[in-house]
Amino acid sequence: MTERPSYLFYQGRGRKPVLDQARGIYMWDTDGKRYIDGSSGAMVCNIGHGNENVLAAMRDQMERATFGYRLHFETEASERLAARTADLTPEGLDRVFFVSGGSEAVESAMKLARQHALATGQAQRWKVISRSPSYHGCTLGALAITSYAPLTAPFDPMMRAMPKVPAPRAYLDGLDPEDEATGLHYANMLEDRIIEEGPETVLAFFVEPVGGASTGALVPPRGYMERVREICDHYGVLMILDEVMTGAGRTGRFLASEHWGISPDIIVLSKGYAAGYVPLGAMVAHTRLVEPVLDEGGFQHGFTYAGNPLACAAGAAVLEEIERLGLVQNAATMGDALKSRLETLMDRYPIIGDVRGKGLLLAFEFMADRRSKAPLPAHLRAFDRFVQIAYDHGLIVYSRRTRGGVDGDHVLVCPPMIVSEAQLDEITDLLDRALAQFMDEIRP
C-alpha cells in the first residue's frame, strides 16, 4: 500500500486501503486489489454499487438543481420520493420528514413524539423506553436510547438516561424462540417497566425489529412484536420502529415489521433507503401524530441538508430499482440460500455457535462451547481478527464484540440484495478459507 501522510481519523488510527472503484458487489482499492462487499458497507449498499439508472437520475438532477433550501422549495424529486415512501409503509403512515442519516431520523422521531404529546395535552409524557442492547445512532439523543456501554458510557453525564428493557435473546436464556410463551415473556418486561415508570410519563418505545450491529441479526421470538404493539396501544405509548438497517428490503420484505403484520406509529429509515448513493434518511409518521403538531405552531426541528434535491432524486431512483429488479424477493431467496450455506459452515467449524437472521440480514456468532454458549476468550479479539483475515482474502464482513449485550463475537454477512447464487458461492468459499485460517491461528 502506498505510504501517505495521515490527516484523517475515524474512530481509530488504523490506515485503510484507498477505494478506487466499486461496481455491483465488488470494490477495488488503488492497488488493484478486489474485495467482495459482503456487508454492503454497514448494511447500506443494498442495490449494489454503480447502478446506472440511479447515477443517471442523479446526473439529471445535478444538471437541473443540486440544492434548494427546504423552507424555500419542494422539488419534484422530494414529492415523488415522499409519495412512494408513503405507499410502501403501512396505511396511515403518510407523512414523510427527510433527513440525511439514521441518527437524524431517530432524533426526529423522538422529537416529533414529544411535540405530539405537548400538542395533545400530555406534557407529562417524555420517557422513551428502548432495549438493551440496542443501537439507534451516535448523536446525543439517539445515544440516550442506545444501549451499548463502550459507546454510551463516556457521555452519560451529558445525557438524560432513558429506561431500558432487555432485548429478547432467547438462545442465550435457554428459551425456545418458536414458543409464543417466550415472546410474551420478553414483551411483558416492557409492560412491567411501563407500569414501574408510571404509564402517564412514557412517551414511546423504540425498537429495532431485527437487531443489527447491536445483537448481530437477532430475530424476535414468536409473538413478541405483536404483544409489544398491544402493550403500547393499551398504555398510549407510541411504538417507533428503527428500520434504518432492516428497511428497504434487507430482511426479505420492504419493511421488517411486515413479517409480523404490525403497524407502528413512526418508522425511521436510512442506509438502504438511498443505498449509499447519497446521505438520506426519513422519518415516516402517522398523519394522526403530525396534524396536531402542525396545528400547534409546527415541528420545531430541521436540518439544512434535509431532503435536498440530489438526495431525493437518488432515493427515488433507488426505490424504483428495488422494484424493477425484484430485489426484495431476491433478498428473501438469496437470504435463505446464504443462511443454509452459513449453516453448512457451522457444521464444519465448531467455533460457529449460532447462525441467525432474516433475508439478507444474517450473522454467525463465535463460541468456545456450543452447549454452554461460552464466548471465545476476549483476548482473541475474534471480531477484529476475523474481519482482518477475511479482508486479506478479499471479503468484507462486519463484526462486533457483543452478543445480546454480553461478551461474544458476531459477524454480519449481508451482501447487496443484487447478489446471485454464484456470488454466494464465492462469498462462502472466502468465508471458508478465512475460518480455516482463523481456526489455525487460535489452535492451542
Binding residues vs ligand PMP (CB under 6 A): 42, 101-103, 106, 135-137, 208, 212-213, 242, 244-245, 270
- 248 and 254 in contact (C-beta within 8 Å)? yes
Handedness of CA 256, 260, 261, 262 (dihedral sign): negative
Q: Which is nearer to ligand PMP, 73 or 155 (CB)?
A: 155
Give the shortest CB-443-to-ligand PMP separation in angstroms. 34
- 38 and 360 in contact (C-beta within 8 Å)? no
User: What whole-number distance in Å separates Cα of residue 9 and Cα of residue 37?
Assistant: 22
Q: Which is nearer to ligand PMP, 24 or 212 (CB)?
A: 212
Q: Which is nearer to ligand PMP, 207 or 355 (CB)?
A: 207
**Dihedral in degrees, nearest 10, Cα atoms 327, 332, 333, 336:** 150
Give the shortest CB-245-to-ligand PMP separation in angstroms. 4
Q: Which is nearer to ligand PMP, 203 or 210 (CB)?
A: 210
Q: Which is nearer to ligand PMP, 208 or 409 (CB)?
A: 208
Q: Which is nearer to ligand PMP, 132 or 437 (CB)?
A: 132
Give the shortest CB-214-to-ligand PMP separation in angstroms. 7
In the 8-state DSSP scheme, what is residue 258? G
3-state secondary structure of 190: helix
- Sort strands 127-132 and 34-36 into parallel, antiparallel or unpaired: unpaired
* 249 CB burial (10 A radius; 0-12, 13-18, 19+): buried
Give the shortest CB-23-to-ligand PMP separation in angstroms. 24
Find where cell 424493477 sits: 324
Give the shortest CB-227-to-ligand PMP separation in angstroms. 21
Q: Which is nearer to ligand PMP, 101 or 405 (CB)?
A: 101
Give the shortest CB-283-to-ligand PMP separation in angstroms. 12
User: What whole-number distance in Å separates Cα of residue 224 and Cα of residue 4?
Assistant: 51
- Sort strands 127-132 and 202-207 into parallel, antiparallel or unpaired: parallel
Give the shortest CB-436-to-ligand PMP separation in angstroms. 30
Give the shortest CB-425-to-ligand PMP separation in angstroms. 28
Q: Which is nearer to ligand PMP, 136 or 410 (CB)?
A: 136
Main-chain phi, psi angles of 413, to 5 degrees: -120, 105
Q: What region does 185 belong to: left with phi over 0, alpha with psi -120 to 50, or beta?
A: alpha
Selection from 147, 131, 139 nearest residue 109 by Cα: 139
Q: Which is nearer to ligand PMP, 409 or 426 (CB)?
A: 409
Q: Which is nearer to ligand PMP, 24 or 141 (CB)?
A: 141
Return the residue nearest ligand PMP (CB atom).
102
Find where cell 430482511 sits: 251
Q: Which is nearer to ligand PMP, 88 or 414 (CB)?
A: 414
Give the shortest CB-213-to-ligand PMP separation in angstroms. 5
Main-chain phi, psi angles of 146, to 5 degrees: -95, 145
Selection from 230, 178, 184 nearest residue 205 by Cα: 230
Give the shortest CB-301-to-ligand PMP separation in angstroms. 16
Selection from 66, 43, 62 nearest residue 54 by Cα: 62
Q: Mark 122-160 as b/e (b = at least 16 C-beta within 10 Å).
A: eeebbbbbbbbbbbbbeeebbbbbbbbeeebeeeeeeee
Give the shortest CB-104-to-ligand PMP separation in angstroms. 7
